[in-house]
Amino acid sequence: MNLMKELGILRHIISHPLLIALFRIALGVVFIVASLDKIHYPEAFATTIANYRLLPYKLINGTAIVLPWLEAITGTLLVLGVWIRANTIIVVGLLLVFSIAISQALARGLDISCGCFTTNPVAERMSLWTLIWDLVWLCWGGLIWLFDRGPYSLFKLLSTRKDKTESP
Amino acid sequence: MKPARPRRYLPFVPSHIILNNPKQLKYTKRPKAPRRALRLLIRMNEFNRIAAQIVAVLLFSVSLAFITNAVRADRFPLIMPFPPTYQCPSSEKPGLPMDLQTALNLYGKAGTVFIDSRKGDAFQKGHIEGARHIPYSFVEPLSKETLDSLRRSKSIIVYCNREDSEASQLLAGELAQAGINGVAYLEKGFTGWVKAGGRYTGKAPEAYDE
């Protein structure tokens, strides 16, 4: 009974609108930061994708061009709180794909850098911690999907201001 | 005051033609496409709305990515040129070529291995007699067992159907990168081998070469 009560309190804390909005903004910022280097150096990012040996090489460059922009746009929309649920699904989907890619690389023993935040090929090598961090972000996305109903979003902010200006 | 008569919509009449009086058709301006799309979006239920938003974000991202790539000074090619570059275990290079005559001379000698890098069905149809089948896949690195079994060989000749086929070049490059000595790919491939009178089993490659 006590456990249920504690879980209820935990849920109450996590689902606090301000806290969940901060979670959402943090995830959005992470995606934006992750995309910057990749947008700037698509060739290096293409090499990073090729290292995973997951895609046929003819599809690699197209993925290296599109993926960073998708990260940047979904990240920006999450920070602004626009179309939260749709963007959370995209972000969770991307994180799921990254988790699969990292898992298979670890399982096959590929000694490569993950390319999560940098395209530098001599950056820190991928390890089990890379996968754990990815899964943490995945759960983070799940929390946003479950609890964020957008009280601190751009749409809400604009509509509140409009109401205030209209009221006498 | 008399209540306003409700508007009626005739079946099979477009919605922008509104009928107030059965004898008189009243035409109103049809809303423009963006407003119609917006109305449609508002009428959608939660699931459809989220799906539409996901599609919109994906389309916008893909368009922006390709447009940005097209206008930047160092435009990045949409398809990676051959040979593909990657660093695992080190940058990939096509292997060294070996001409047909040298390969024919080496055939049957101790320590010489011919490797067929084509897909399974092509190997089943026909191959160089005594060749080992190791199909090349970009996404599948060679296993440690395969590499260890090749380390004792003096000369390894990788082939596929034709000279311009990428599989044999890439597999030869990958074997060389993995530290196997004496690796080369066969110039003119299996087709050239058969024409030069080399021994083979099954059908000649002309029968199924694309």
Pairing mode of beta strands B96-98, B126-128: unpaired
A55 contacts on B by Cβ (under 8 Å):
139
Query: C-alpha angle with apex A29: A89 to A128, nearest 5 degrees?
Result: 75
A62 contacts on B by Cβ (under 8 Å):
78-79
Residue range A77-106: average pLDDT? 92
Residue range B17-27: average pLDDT? 55
The C-alpha atoms of residue B115 and residue B135 are separated, in whole angstroms, by: 9
pLDDT value, residue A67: 95
A55 touches chain B (CB under 8 A): yes
Query: C-alpha angle with apex B64: B60 to B68, nearest 5 degrees?
Result: 180
The C-alpha atoms of residue B91 and residue B86 are separated, in whole angstroms, by: 5
Residue the block writes with tokens 């004496």: B182
d(CA A104, nearest CA chain B) in Å: 11
Per-residue model confidence as pLDDT tens digits over A30-44: 999 999 989 998 888
pLDDT value, residue B90: 40
**Cβ distance of B76 and A112 shorter than 8 Å:** no
Residue of higher predicted confidence among A26 and B12: A26
Lay out the sheet containing B112-116: strands in order across: B96-98, B183-186, B155-159, B112-116, B132-133
* Of B53, B87, B89, Cβ closest to residue A47: B87
pLDDT band of residue A95 (cuts 50, 70, 90) is very high
End-to-end CA, chain A: 50
Per-residue model confidence as pLDDT tens digits over B30-72: 677 777 777 776 666 778 888 999 999 999 999 999 999 999 8
Query: Facing residues of B200 across strands?
Result: B128
B41 touches chain A (CB under 8 A): no
Is the pLDDT score of A93 beyond 90? Answer: yes
A126 contacts on B by Cβ (under 8 Å):
none
pLDDT value, residue B28: 58
Residue of higher predicted confidence among A11 and A129: A129
Portion of chain A with pLDDT greater than 70, in percent: 93
Other beta carbons within 10 angstroms of residue A9's beta carbon come to: 10
Is the pLDDT score of B95 beyond 90? Answer: no
**Cβ distance of A69 and B89 shorter than 8 Å:** no
B68 contacts on A by Cβ (under 8 Å):
39, 69
Contacts of range A19-25, beta carbons closer than 8 Å, 24 or more positions apart:
A20/A143, A20/A144, A20/A147, A20/A148, A21/A81, A21/A148, A21/A151, A21/A152, A21/A153, A23/A140, A23/A143, A23/A144, A23/A148, A24/A78, A24/A79, A24/A81, A24/A84, A24/A88, A24/A144, A24/A148, A25/A78, A25/A79
Per-residue model confidence as pLDDT tens digits over A142-163: 999 888 877 777 777 777 766 6
Chain B, 67 to 96: residues with Cβ < 8 Å from chain A are 68-69, 76-80, 84-89
pLDDT value, residue B210: 46
A70 contacts on B by Cβ (under 8 Å):
57-58, 61-62, 65
Give how far Cα A26 sits from Cα of A13, A19, A140, Å: 17, 11, 10
Residue of higher predicted confidence among A137 and B209: A137
Q: What are the phi and psi torsion angles at B65 (to 5°)?
A: -60, -45
A69 touches chain B (CB under 8 A): yes
Per-residue model confidence as pLDDT tens digits over B105-117: 888 888 899 999 8
Three-state secondary-structure class, residue A9: helix
Residue range B177-185: average pLDDT? 84
pLDDT value, residue B87: 53
d(CA B91, nearest CA chain A) in Å: 10
Residue A68: closest C-alpha in chain B: B65
Helix axes A57-80, A17-40, angle to 10 degrees: 140
Q: What type of residue sits at position B160?
A: C
